Structure 1
Amino acid sequence: MQDQNNQNDSSLISHLEALRKTLIHCFVALGIGIIPMFFAAPYALDFLSERIVASTNASLHYFSPMEVFLQQLKLAALFDVALCFPFTAWEIWKFILPALYEDERHFLRGLVWLSSSLFVIGVVFFLTLCFPLILKFGVSFSTESLQPVFGVSNIVSLGIWLSLAFGVMFQFPILTYALVRWGFFFIRICSKKASLYHYPDFDSGSSFDAAGHCKPTDAGHSHLFAF
């Protein structure tokens, strides 16, 4: 009995040691990656400003001495996480790999890369299509006595949070597939419900409800986000 307890303790210690090494490797990679991303952040902010000027004929303003610097740090941190994501994902994958069966390894290996690709597609979809539309919609309210003034902090925060929201929303196909694969839903049952109770209409309603909570409340962008 004592030998079994000692074996369990040593197994727990080895797992904690492996977790510690994984976290150290991830944080070291993030610390190294933040340096070049900090120098790239000003160019990204200039690119964002040029896109705003080109699409809305408006300009960005900052209202405190440190605002631009803080937004550059925020962009640098975001780019750093994106740049180091393959390495951190690989480290996490190596940590959980010994506990998985062969079929689980094969499934999760494809799932990680598919999830990453869909997240990038969602972010690119927002930045290239939806973000300019949101800015144009905001500028459309301007009058002779009401002119838009965009703050750097507001624009950067809006772009980051909605980029993350679109990236997460593009994970829904994977979530649905995983729920079906793990037995929470069955394709045959879903098909019967779809034919008897018009289940796709319920899916559309859920999509519009989620879009209303994640996006501004104008109808055009809510429809686009729900799609």
Structure 2
Amino acid sequence: MAAPETDPDPAPEQTFIEHLTELRNRLLRAVAAILIVFLALIPFATDLYAWLAEPLLSRLPAGGQLVAIEVAGPFLTPLKLAFFTALMVTMPFSLYQAWAFVAPALYRNEKQLAIPLLVSSTLLFYLGCAFAYYLVMPVVFGFLASITPDGVAMMTDIGRYLDFVLMLFFAFGMCFEVPVATVIVVATGWLDVGALKRSRPYVIVGAFVVGAIVTPPDVLSQVMLAVPMCLLYELGIVAATALVRRREAQAGH
């Protein structure tokens, strides 16, 4: 029976200066990718903002519109959106640079686990942002428009609208990372699958608390965040169970 590999893959020893040089090069590559995409998106910045504003504008009453309170708002706000879009687009490349820097120090079995986690975490974050844009934002803005008092014109500042949408994207993107977090706590031995199953009632309550904090104060928006979190928690339990069974099968050989 072959002994399991527990040592990192053999690689030439590097000095501290060489590690710093490699880290600098990885960071420069990530920053360069962000800047290149950002510069490419600048001509389309206003179109990006129009796309982002559509869920709100389509639900405003007649005469409702976005306004720019700050003098430079019409210029700076689309640029800010273009920059954050560049961050999102280049996220896989930036994560790859981080992975390439730390991979030589990882054990082989850690590499086998880390690659699927990196890929799935990126996809889940994108999925959370898409869920927020296509499903949650129409409900949220429809609710906010419906409760606007008579005689009050709903005209939101473009900068504050962007901040609100980015907060929603980040909140839903991070909440969709629940399966990855679940697998990590099992893989590192912090909890076992049985403990995760026993924690279901607390997770359900916590999901609704998080939903109440990061969404507007209507029940539907809260449910639209809490229910996916609970379902993703169950998906994480399934993935963690498969991981445990795989490890047991490998240990039996």
Q: Which residue of structure 1 aligns with residue 58 of structure 2?
A: 54
Matched, 1:75 2:111: no
TM-score where L is the length of structure 1: 0.87
Q: State the AA in 1 paired with 2:156.
A: F
2:48·2:82 contact (CA, 8 Å) conserved in 1? no
Matched, 1:221 2:227: no
* Post-superposition offset of 1:94: 1.1
Q: How far, CA to CA, are the matches of 2:200 and 2:106 in structure 1?
A: 35
Matched, 1:25 2:29: yes
> What are the ranges of 5 or more consecutive residues in structure 1 without an aligned counterpart?
1-8
Q: State the AA in 1 paired with 2:46.
A: P
1:126·1:163 contact (CA, 8 Å) conserved in 2? yes
Q: Which residue of structure 1 aligns with residue 201 of structure 2?
A: 201
1:215·1:222 contact (CA, 8 Å) conserved in 2? yes
Q: Which residue of structure 1 aligns with residue 90 of structure 2?
A: 84
Match of 2:138 among 123, 132, 137: 132
* Post-superposition offset of 1:65: 2.3
SS in 1 for 2:133: helix
* Post-superposition offset of 1:200: 2.2
Q: Which residue of structure 2 aligns with residue 4 of structure 1?
A: none
TM-score where L is the length of structure 2: 0.78
Matched, 1:114 2:120: yes
* Post-superposition offset of 1:49: 3.6
1:2-41 maps to which residues of 2 (within 5 A)? 11-41=15-45
Q: How far, CA to CA, are the matches of 1:162 and 1:41 in structure 2?
A: 20
1:111-190 maps to which residues of 2 (within 5 A)? 111-190=117-196
Q: State the AA in 1 paired with 2:112.
A: H
1:115-137 per-position Cα deviation (integer Å, ceiling 9, x unaligned): 01100100000000111111111
1:49·1:59 contact (CA, 8 Å) conserved in 2? no
Structure with more helix by fraction: 1
1:29·1:84 contact (CA, 8 Å) conserved in 2? yes
Query: Structure 2 vs 1, CA of residues 136 and 103 (structure 1 numbering), >3 Å: closer, same or farther?
Result: same
SS in 2 for 1:110: helix
> What are the ranges of 5 or more consecutive residues in structure 2 without an aligned counterpart?
1-12, 228-253
1:85-134 per-position Cα deviation (integer Å, ceiling 9, x unaligned): 22212211111111111111111111111001100100000000111111
Match of 2:105 among 82, 99, 108: 99
User: RMSD across aligned C-alpha pairs, in angstroms?
Assistant: 1.8
